[in-house]
Amino acid sequence: MITQSLVARPSVFPIFSFDHHCQASVQFSTLNCRFERARRKLKVTRLKASFWDSIRSGFLKENSTQVVEPPSTLQEEEEPLPEEFILVENTKPDGEVEQIIFSSGGDVDVYDLQALCDKVGWPRRPLPKLAAALKNSYMVVTLHSIRKSPGSEGIDQKMLIGMARATSDHAFNATIWDVLVDPNYQGQGLGKALIEKLIRALLQRDIGNITLFADSQVVEFYRNLGFQPDPEGIKGMFWYPKY
Query: What number of CA atoms fall less than 13 Å from residue 154's CA on the CB side?
Result: 2
164 DSSP β-pair partners = 141
- DSSP per-residue string spanning 88-155: EEEE-TTS-EEEEEEE-S----HHHHHHHHHHTTPPP--HHHHHHHHHT-SEEEEEEEEEE-TT-SS-
Report which of 191, 192, 194, 94 is spatially closest to residue 141, judged by C-alpha positions. Answer: 194
From the centroid of its chain, how far is CA 79?
9
222 is catalytic: yes
Active-site entry in 111, 185, 222, 243 = 222
DSSP 156: S
Return the active site residues.
222
